[in-house]
Amino acid sequence: SNPSILILPGDGIGPEVMDEVRKVIAWYGEKRDMAFDVSEDLVGGAAYDKHGTPLHDDTMARAMEVDAVLLGAVGGPKYDVLDFSVKPERGLLRLRKEMDLFSNLRPAQCFDALADFSSLKKEVVAGLDIMIVRELTSGIYFGEPRGIFKEGNERVGINTQRYTESEIARVARSAFELARLRSNRLCSMEKANVMESGILWRDVVTEIHAAEYPDVELSHMYADNGAMQLVRAPKQFDVIVTDNLFGDILSDAAAMLTGSLGMLPSASLGAPMENGRPKAMYEPVHGSAPDIAGQGKANPIACILSFAMALRYSFEAGEEAARLEAAIATVLANGARTADLLGPEGGTPISTGEMGDAIIA
Ligand code: NAI
Ligand code: MG
């Protein structure tokens, strides 16, 4: 049977950018003889409007079965007044949690045509292609005890950074595997100088390296130095693996090395399923962009690059992923720009649909 994909377009520009991904999926079926079984459902505000919940149980069950979930974006001002328990984001969080997507991959890749767009000097970012792997299901965002407590006559806010050996090991393995698919270099970041969890993190990564991945070139760096190095000389890195909190911050910083939010894809991977493929969800980093929704202005590239990641990490089709990325590079080199990619000198933007069509062509 064909590999299966569940499309969850979501809200705002989510459905608009997902329309372009659907075109790309159709192209693979027609021209490359790669057919997918595609189903589609609601998530976020769209699901709330229909079912009173941001993720219906049937949708959750389907997500657990398919080879890959492709998600657009969720949220919008209309839903800001809702109770936290039914907010659109809760749909996303439930997917991540129940699919146990512990390994969050955020590439920072700079297309030559957009090197001027970076917050940094062109020579620092031209040709940049790095990958940050962030642990996504544990660490300080989840550790107990947590809360705001009374201590004497004042309040104290408490979060707990907590990592088990197995939680570190599984994300480390995922990063080592990725490094092997790329330039075979992994840099692990923590703060072993001041944190117990950082000492354990460094120990576990070192042990797994010695036992299972001695062929990968491993280095360790304190995360604060890592932040500095990412801005100073980002091309020194290939794959970076780090915990949930540091990964949140470092991946946002790395994202801005490359320019527009409309260009950034992500993948979240879990444990292998029976067929050997990891549980997986692919989504652009951006949100539902209510300010431009419904106007055909959204840049579909982040969402299309997320599908390229699905080709590479879920469908063993790395060459096809590279083909798709090359098409995007060509289109950009030829000068095609959605509105978000126009610099101060301006120019005429093309629409979401025109960008999708240009990539297909
Ligand atoms: P946002 O990412 O939706 O938009 C930030 C800015 O970037 C806006 O000016 C927007 O027009 C622009 N932008 C974003 N994606 C773009 C694209 N593909 N093409 C062109 N321009 C693009 O973040 P914001 O405004 O903070 O949040 C809007 C809504 O999205 C909120 O409800 C928020 O909760 C939700 N959100 C959802 C996320 C998700 O589904 N993963 C992630 C971030 C925010
Ligand atoms: Mg963040």
331 within some domain: yes
- Is residue 127 over pLDDT 80? yes
Q: Does ligand 1 lie within 6 Å of residue 262's CB atom?
A: yes
Pair of tokens at residue 320: 């096809």
117 within some domain: no
Sheet-wide strand order for 68-73: 37-40, 4-10, 68-73, 278-284, 265-272, 103-109, 129-135, 239-242, 185-190, 217-222
Q: Are residues 268 and 251 in the same domain?
A: no
Q: H-helix or E-strand containing 308?
A: helix 301-313
Give the count of domains, the chain.
Answer: 2
Q: Are residues 159 and 252 in the same domain?
A: yes
pLDDT of residue 346: 83
List, as residue ranges, the binding site for NAD(+).
76-89, 287-299
The residue among 205, 234, 256 that closes a domain is: 256
The domain containing residue 198 runs over which residues?
129-256
Average pLDDT over every residue of 113-125: 83
Task: Write the pLDDT tens digit of every residue in 228-261.
Answer: 999 999 999 999 999 999 999 999 888 888 878 8
Q: Are residues 145 and 87 in the same domain?
A: no
- Is residue 263 over pLDDT 90? yes
Task: Write the pLDDT tens digit of every residue in 29-53.
Answer: 999 999 999 999 999 999 999 999 9
Q: Are residues 98 and 145 in the same domain?
A: no
pTM metric for this prediction: 0.94
**Catalytic-labelled residue, pool 213, 248, 279, 313:** 248
Q: Are residues 148 and 247 in the same domain?
A: yes
Which ipTM value was assigned to this complex? 0.98
pLDDT of residue 274: 92
User: In this structure, is the dihedral angle defined by the CA atoms of residues 40, 314, 321 and 328, taken in order, positive or negative?
Assistant: positive
pLDDT of residue 113: 87
pLDDT of residue 319: 95
Nearest CA among 170, 79, 88 for reference residue 133: 170
pLDDT of residue 15: 98
115 within some domain: no
196 within some domain: yes
SS3 call for 137 = coil
Task: Write the pLDDT tens digit of every residue in 65-75.
Answer: 999 999 999 99
User: In this structure, is the dihedral angle defined by the CA atoms of residues 203, 204, 205 and 206, taken in order, positive or negative?
Assistant: positive
Whether residue 62 contacts residue 272, with contact meaning beta carbons closer than 8 Å, is answered with no
The residue assigned the tokens 């389907």 is: 62
Average pLDDT over every residue of 273-292: 95
Cα(38)–Cα(308) distance, integer angstroms = 16
Strand-pair category, 37-40 with 4-10:
parallel
Q: Whose CA is nearest to atom 27 of ligand 1?
A: 287
Q: Does ligand 1 lie within 6 Å of residue 261's CB atom?
A: yes
Whether residue 261 contacts residue 286, with contact meaning beta carbons closer than 8 Å, is answered with yes
- CATH number of the domain at 286, please: 3.40.718.10
Q: How confident is the model at residue 338 (pLDDT cuts 50, 70, 90)?
A: very high
The residue among 256, 273, 298 that closes a domain is: 256
**Average pLDDT of the chain, as a whole number:** 95
The residue among 221, 256, 291 that closes a domain is: 256
Task: Write the pLDDT tens digit of every residue in 169-204.
Answer: 999 999 999 999 999 999 999 999 999 999 999 999
